[in-house]
Structure 1
Amino acid sequence: MLISTLEQLGYQHQGYPVGYSKSSQIRWLSVLDLKGKSEQQLLKEMDYQTRRNIKRTDEMGVKVRQLPIEETDRFFKLFKMAEEKHGFSFRDEPYFKQLQRDYQGYASLQLAYIDLNEYINGLQQKLDDLNNQMQDVETALAESPNSKKQKTKQTQLNQQLTSTQRKIDDTRETIATDGAILDLAAAIYIYNDYEVYYLSSGSNPKYNAYMGAYKLQWEMIKFAKDHNIDRYNFYGITGDFSEDAIDYGVQQFKKGFNAHVEEYIGDFVKPIKPLLYKAGEISGKL
C-alpha cells in the first residue's frame, strides 16, 4: 500500500537490496530493546559467551573513558584497523571531528583500554592466593596422603598456578614491547532521548584477548539505561544471514547481546527531471 501510494506520487522504489552501499541508507538494523529491563535481566538474556566475556573484562580491569575531540586520533587509529580488516573505506579523521562538533552534546567518543601494570597486580594477588591454597592442600595431603579430594584439588591448583604465571610472564613481555597502557577498542555514538546509535568503531586485533569491544558495548548499554533511553541501536548489518556473509562475525557479535533484526522498506527516488534522470540511468552515472 505504501509503495504503491508513493509510486503514484512519482517516487521510484529502489528495491530490497542486501549488503552495504555508499549511495543508500542501511536497510537492515540490529537493535536491542532496553525498555523495562534491568541490567541483570539484560545480562541474563544475552548469549552465555557474551555474558562471560563481559565478566572477563571486569576481571581483567578493562576500563572505558570518553575521549575529548582532541584525542580523535586515538579512535581513528583503531578505526583504520577495522577498515583494513574488513576491506572497506568509510571516512577520514576530519569527518569524525566535524561529526562531534555538529552533534555537540549528543555525540560520545568512547575508548576501551587496559593498564597492564594494574592487570599484573591483580594476577599476582591471584597467584599468591593460589599458593596459599596449595600450602593448605599439601598440609592436608601430609595428613591424609590417599585423599582423592585433596589430590584432585592439588591438580586443579597446579593448572591454575601454571596458567596464571604464564599470563604474568606474557603481560610483562607485552609491557616491554607495547607499553603498559593499551588502546583496545573505540567507537563513536550518537544519542538522543530515545536512542543510542552505535555509528562507527574499530579495535586492535592484536589485543582481542582483552575483549575491549564487549566492554565498550556494555558500558554504553548501561549509559542508555542511566539516561532512560529505551533503544540501543547497533546499527547496520548486510541482511545476508548466511555463514558466508561478509559481516557474519559482526552479526554474531551483535546477536550475542540479544539484539533483534529490523528491516526497513528501502529507498525511494523521485526524479525531478525525468528525461535527464533517464539519460543518467542509461549512461550509468546514476
Structure 2
Amino acid sequence: MKQAFIAVENGLCHKACCTRAVGDLSCLFSLILGICTLMVSLMAIYTHGEVTRTFGINLYYGMYIVLFASLCTIWTAFLGMCGMSAKNRFFVIVLVAGSILLIIILLIGLLLVLLFPYLAGDNVGAVMLKNLKDNYGTLAVITTSWDYLQGYLLCCAVEDNGWSAWRDSKWFLDENSVLLDDTQTIPASNPAYRMVPKSCCYRKLDYLTRQLTDEYENLDRCQNWQYGPPKFTTGAHNDAIYYRGCLPTIQAYIKRFSFWIMLFGFCTFFFLITSTTIGCITLQQIR
C-alpha cells in the first residue's frame, strides 16, 4: 500500500515537473518572440516616423499597440519563468492574468496593422490629398513630411500618375503666381512654371556608395515638360519624374513589415495561450 502511494506521489511529482518544464519553455519562446516583435515594430515606427504626419491621423496605432504588447509580453514571460521555476503562486497569477490581457491587446494590434492596407486606403487617400492641396507649402511640418515621403519612397502625389493633384494645390498657386497678382498664374510656356515640387523628381545615383545624391537627373524636364507628364497623364515617357503614387507605395511597405509582425505576433499569440493554459494547471498544483 505504501509503495503504491509512493508510486502515485512520484507520478504526480513527475507530471508537475513536466508541466512546469513545458511552462518554462513556453515562457522562454514568448520572451524571444516578444523581443523579435519589439524589434520589428521599432524598425517600422523609426523608419516611417515622418510618414504619419502626412495623413493627419496616426497610421501606426496598430504598430504602437503591438510595440506596447511586446514589451508587456517580455516582462510577463520573465515573471512567468520565475514563477514556474520557484513555484511562486503570485508570479504564476501575474503570468495568467497578464497573458489573457496581452492576448486581447496583441490581437487588436495585429488586426489593426494587417487590415489597414485593405480597409483604410480610401480614407487615408482622402486625408493625404487634402493635406497636399491645403497645407503643402503653407505648413512647414506638412511640407517637410511630404518632401521626406516622396524623396524616401520615390513617389509623387497620392495615386499612381496623380501629378494633376499638385495643380489643384495652394503650393501651385503660390509657386506660379504673377507678381503683384496672386490670383493669376504665369503661362505654362514660362521657364519658371512649376507643376510639381522637386521631391517628385529623380535624383542622381552615386555609383560608388549606391546612395541617392541631392542632384536631380533633369529638374526642368521633371517640373515643366510640354510633351507628357506632369502636364499630361499620357504622352511621351518622362524619365525625370516619379510615376508611382505614395499611397500604393506606403501600402506595399506596410504589407512588407506586416508579414514579419504577423509571423512573430501570431507565434507570440500561440505561446501566450500555451503559457496561460500551463499557468492555470500550475496554479492547481501550487497550493
TM value normalised by structure 2: 0.25
Relative contact order (C-alpha < 8 Å, sep 6+): which is higher? 1
The structure with more helix, counted as a fraction of residues: 2
TM value normalised by structure 1: 0.25
- The higher radius of gyration belongs to 2
